[in-house]
């Protein structure tokens, strides 16, 4: 993957934040932030119609949480009318790296509530579970976990990059999914789940995809949707499929599982269809 990023765009620091949120947000991070914003500005000036920013960070450490939220608030200051989308890896009870994870996460979530437009909630526990249970990998590496996240990341922005019958973008996603401004933490799921480098041998139908997509085992954060209710949902389908069938399946899901959707937001599933399927998947 050496060719993905421009070497000039890397910003290096001499020390880490040592799992300390305040170090990342106020001392070490604050020294680096201007260099980072400079790189962001150069890239943003190259865009003809900038949709928004995607920030990938973890909330358990010091840099991703402290400096990550500092970066988000600075970008928000400079580009107030652009979307701010984050992919945040939350600490989870079973997969814990540091003792101070809860502090770092709490301080970060407070910032994300205020400054981000959309947060995709991910956690390693759920990703490991998907690797063990669904993909049957005995020793999943971070590469396998990243493969799962990359599938959802590409899905969120596929309509900005490819032609589609029913398009969506970050702003449409926000408008349709967020009932109250502070409630912008989304659970992401992906179907069909395939392991890294494997080919899929049969094309899946829309009903099969729909059934997998709403399955709790496919969710990338270890929260069980069956213990609560969906306020809103967005279904993004990729590949050659009929929009009529997609709409029928979405209605079907809402009618069958009406107890899992809040009754005060009717028709709360947004659907999107993009023509180009994900790499390695036949649709």
Can you read off the two tokens belonging to residue 68? 């990550």
- Domain membership of residue 8 (yes or no) is no
How far apart are the two ends of the chain, measured CA to CA in Å?
26
- Per-residue pLDDT band for 201 (boundaries 50, 70, 90) equals low
- Cβ atoms of 123 and 96 closer than 8 Å: no
Could you list the residue range(s) of the whole structural domain that residue 198 is in? Answer: 17-36+50-274
Percent of the chain with pLDDT over 90: 65
Position 1 pLDDT exceeds 70:
no
Instruction: Please report which confidence band the pLDDT of residue 224 belongs to, taking 50, 70 and 90 as the band edges.
Output: confident
Asked whether residue 62 is assigned to any structural domain, the reply reads yes
Cβ atoms of residues 92 and 121 within 8 Å: no
- Whole-number pLDDT of residue 197: 65
Task: Tell whether 3 is covered by a domain.
Answer: no
Give yes or no for a contact between 265 and 232, defined as CB atoms under 8 angstroms apart: yes
Q: How far apart are CA 49 and CA 32, in angstroms?
A: 27
The verdict on residue 283 lying in a domain is no
Which tokens hold the place of 159? 């309509």
The reported pLDDT for the residue numbered 4 is 84
Reported confidence tier of residue 199, pLDDT bands at 50, 70, 90? low
**4 occurs within a structural domain:** no
Helix axes of 101-115 and 68-78: crossing angle, nearest 10 degrees: 10
pLDDT tens-digit readout, 102-136 = 999 999 999 999 999 999 999 999 999 999 998 88
pLDDT score of 48: 94
Please, which pLDDT band fits residue 55 given cuts at 50, 70 and 90?
Answer: very high
The predicted pLDDT at position 88 comes to 96
**What total of structural domains would you count in the chain?**
1
| Position 281 in a domain | no
Count how many residues are written for the chain: 283
Tell me what the mean pLDDT of segment 200-213 comes to.
Answer: 82
% pLDDT > 70, the chain: 96
Any idea what the CATH number is for the domain that residue 140 is in? 3.40.50.1440
Rounded to the nearest 5°, which phi and psi values hold at 119?
Answer: -120, 120
Residue 42 lies in a domain: no
pLDDT tens sequence across 67-100: 999 999 999 999 999 999 999 999 988 888 889 9
Residue 283: pLDDT above 60?
no
Is 43 a domain residue? no
Contact 107, 66 (CB under 8 A): yes
3-state secondary structure (DSSP) of residue 256 = helix
């Amino acid at each position: 993957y050496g060719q993905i990023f421009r070497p000039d765009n890397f910003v290096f620091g001499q020390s880490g934040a040592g799992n300390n949120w305040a170090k990342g947000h106020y001392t070490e991070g604050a020294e680096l932030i201007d260099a980072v914003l400079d790189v962001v500005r150069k890239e943003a000036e190259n865009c003809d119609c900038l949709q928004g920013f995607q920030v990938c960070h973890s909330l358990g450490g010091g840099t991703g949480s402290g400096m990550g939220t500092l970066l988000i608030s600075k970008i928000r200051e400079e580009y107030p009318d652009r979307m701010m989308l984050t992919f945040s890896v939350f600490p989870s009870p079973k997969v814990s790296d540091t003792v101070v994870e809860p502090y770092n996460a709490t301080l970060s979530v407070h910032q994300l509530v205020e400054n981000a437009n959309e947060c995709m909630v991910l956690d390693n526990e759920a990703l490991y579970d998907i690797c063990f249970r669904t993909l049957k990998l005995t020793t999943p590496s971070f590469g396998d976990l990243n493969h799962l996240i990359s599938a959802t990341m590409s899905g969120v922005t596929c309509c900005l990059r490819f032609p589609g019958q029913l398009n969506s973008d970050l702003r449409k996603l926000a408008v349709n999914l967020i009932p109250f401004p502070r409630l912008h933490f989304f659970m992401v799921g992906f179907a069909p789940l395939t392991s890294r480098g494997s080919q899929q041998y049969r094309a899946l139908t829309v009903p099969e995809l729909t059934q997998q997509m709403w399955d709790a085992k496919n969710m990338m954060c270890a929260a069980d949707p069956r213990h609560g209710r969906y306020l809103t949902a967005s279904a993004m389908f990729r590949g050659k499929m009929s929009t009529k069938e997609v709409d029928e399946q979405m209605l079907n899901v809402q009618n069958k599982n009406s107890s899992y959707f809040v009754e005060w937001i009717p028709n709360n599933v947004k659907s999107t269809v993009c023509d180009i399927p994900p790499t390695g998947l036949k649709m």
